[in-house]
A and B are shown apart, each in its own frame.
Chain A
Amino acid sequence: MRNPENVQSRISARDRADRLINQLTAGAAIAALGAVGVFGVVGASTIPGATTASTASTTTSTSTSSSSTSSGLQPAGGSVTSSSSSGVVVSGGSH
């Protein structure tokens, strides 16, 4: 027959492990969320990329291009007659 004290200690160890698992899971989730913020800031400071949206909108409004791109990317120079809508134009950014 099992010793009742031994059974009780196993039950309390199980409860303690359950609590610890929950705490570690929540801690990992919160830490990961924080890490997304930190890595985002670090990434933005090391490789910020090119801010093409504002320059592209002014350029397209003054150019002679007949492109119908709406993604805010700067179109290639000259008269463009393509009507592609995906706007896949590399603007020099490292994106």
Chain B
Amino acid sequence: MNDQLLWYTTRAAGAVSMIMLTGVVVLGVMSTLRATPRGLPRFFTPALHRNIALVTLVFLALHVVTAVVDPFTSLGWTAAVIPFSSYYRTFWLGLGTIAFELLLAITVTSLLRGLLGHGAWRAIHWLTYAAWPVAIVHGLGTGTDAWSPWLFTLTCLCVGAAAFVVVYRFTAGSTDPLAAQRASFRAGVDRRPDR
């Protein structure tokens, strides 16, 4: 395959992965907020979040594979698996490896959620809040097009969208419909005299 074509594909797949990953984060936060379009059942947003996450992994794999097999950089598969083992742009590529492996861990544990239990799955899923910024920094640090106006604009839009939903998620009140009942139950339990 043409080396240039591999290089263009790596860059393009990286940009697409960034956009899709941002979409996955936004959908994930919307799931937490129980935000669902009117007239649709509540499983709609989480299910779409899961499907888009799986599609995103395909494009991330395309990004990684085309980068590894590109003879110009001769990265090798070790660099794709072991963070900071690449001789080429060691730090920035290492961040990309970390982000990819975090996302892989999040996806695998989500698929095995039934075996892990909700608590463990939830704890690992919090890694998303680390994986996404690490991926963005990787792109800014090593992306050939990172500072091109078109990709920089897209990056800013992605950062804005993710920042908005994350800030909203942490500032909005509880979306649990039974929150009031739970609070009153706990208060009642706390008021019970010790035996």
Interface residues of A (CB under 8 A from B): 10, 13-14, 16-17, 20-21, 24-25, 28-29, 32, 35-44, 46-49, 51, 53, 71-73, 86-88, 93-95
Asked if A17 meets B55 with Cβ closer than 8 Å, knowing A25-B48, A40-B11, the reply is no
Nearest CB to that of A35 among chain B residues? B16
Main SS at interface, chain B: helix
Interface residues of B (CB under 8 A from A): 3-4, 7-9, 11-13, 15-16, 19-20, 23, 39-41, 43-44, 47-48, 51-52, 55, 58-59, 62, 71-74, 87-88, 144-145, 148, 150-151
Which residues does chain B contribute within 8 Å of A47, judged by CB atoms? 144-145, 148
Contact at B150–A46, with CB atoms within 8 Å? yes
With both chains docked as a complex, state the minimum distance between the C-beta of A25 and any C-beta of chain B, in angstroms. Answer: 4
With both chains docked as a complex, state the minimum distance between the C-beta of A89 and any C-beta of chain B, in angstroms. Answer: 10
What CA separation (Å) do A20 and B116 show in the bound complex? 29
Cross-chain pairs A/B with CB under 8 angstroms, 28 sampled: A10-B41, A13-B41, A14-B41, A16-B40, A21-B44, A25-B48, A28-B52, A32-B19, A32-B20, A35-B15, A36-B62, A39-B11, A39-B12, A39-B151, A40-B11, A42-B150, A43-B145, A44-B8, A46-B150, A47-B148, A48-B4, A49-B7, A51-B4, A86-B74, A87-B74, A88-B74, A95-B7, A95-B144
Contact at B44–A20, with CB atoms within 8 Å? yes
Which residues does chain B contribute within 8 Å of A36, judged by CB atoms? 9, 12-13, 16, 59, 62
Contact at B12–A53, with CB atoms within 8 Å? no
With both chains docked as a complex, state the minimum distance between the C-beta of A6 and any C-beta of chain B, in angstroms. Answer: 13
Which residues does chain A contribute within 8 Å of B59, judged by CB atoms? 32, 36
With both chains docked as a complex, state the minimum distance between the C-beta of B53 and any C-beta of chain A, in angstroms. Answer: 10
Q: A88 contacts which of B3, B43, B87 (Cβ < 8 Å)? A: B87
Contact at A73–B11, with CB atoms within 8 Å? no
With both chains docked as a complex, state the minimum distance between the C-beta of B146 and any C-beta of chain A, in angstroms. Answer: 10
Main SS at interface, chain A: helix
With both chains docked as a complex, state the minimum distance between the C-beta of A9 and any C-beta of chain B, in angstroms. Answer: 10
What CA separation (Å) do A48 and B148 show in the bound complex? 12
What CA separation (Å) do A38 and B144 show in the bound complex? 16
Q: B148 contacts which of A14, A46, A51, A86 (Cβ < 8 Å)? A: A46
What CA separation (Å) do A36 and B4 show in the bound complex? 14
Contact at A29–B7, with CB atoms within 8 Å? no
Contact at A21–B47, with CB atoms within 8 Å? yes
With both chains docked as a complex, state the minimum distance between the C-beta of A86 and any C-beta of chain B, in angstroms. Answer: 5
Contact at A73–B39, with CB atoms within 8 Å? no
Which residues does chain A contribute within 8 Å of B58, judged by CB atoms? 29
